[in-house]
Structure 1
């Protein structure tokens, strides 16, 4: 499912115009993006939580040449599935 599919499903379920559902989805994702950019944690009960994790830099190796390279530290988004989501996925198998 992509953002367009999500907007279409929202429009159908709530019986609202597609344009309005697209705006709602944009506001939700924009708010989540801003929260993560500010290092805030997002928790959606029953679904999961999002947070930004910081990873330290390290010395790696170029697999093609074998030369050592320095990999800078980085911040990446991290998602942890909630208990209800894990159970639903397990039931689906």
Structure 2
């Protein structure tokens, strides 16, 4: 399911206009992104938690040349599903 299909499904389920649903969805995604940029957790009880983690730097290999390269440390977003989501997907 892509974003437009998701917006259409939400609009049908709620009775709101697609434009309004898309506005709310974009605002939600922007707020989650901003919170993660600040290093904050975003938790939706039962659904899951979005947070960031630090990935340490490491040495890797260029698959074309076999040459060693240094991969810099990075902050990456992660999602941990909640219990209700896990149960629903079983």
TM-score in same-fold range (> 0.5): yes
1:32-43 equivalence runs, <5 A: 32-43=32-43
Question: Any gaps of 5 or more consecutive residues in structure 2?
Answer: none
Q: What corresponds to 1:76 in structure 2? A: 76
TM-score (norm: length of structure 2):
0.91
Count of matched residue pairs: 90
Offset from partner CA, 1:34-70 (integer Å, 9 cap, x none) = 1111111011111111101111111112233222111
Q: Secondary structure at the match of 2:10?
A: helix
CA distance in 2, matches of 1:17, 1:66: 54
1:1-93 equivalence runs, <5 A: 1-90=1-90
CA distance in 1, matches of 2:11, 2:56: 43
CA distance in 2, matches of 1:31, 1:3: 17
Give the 4+ runs in structure 1 shifted more than 4 A.
Answer: none
CA distance in 1, matches of 2:66, 2:10: 51
Question: Any gaps of 5 or more consecutive residues in structure 1?
Answer: none
RMSD: 1.1
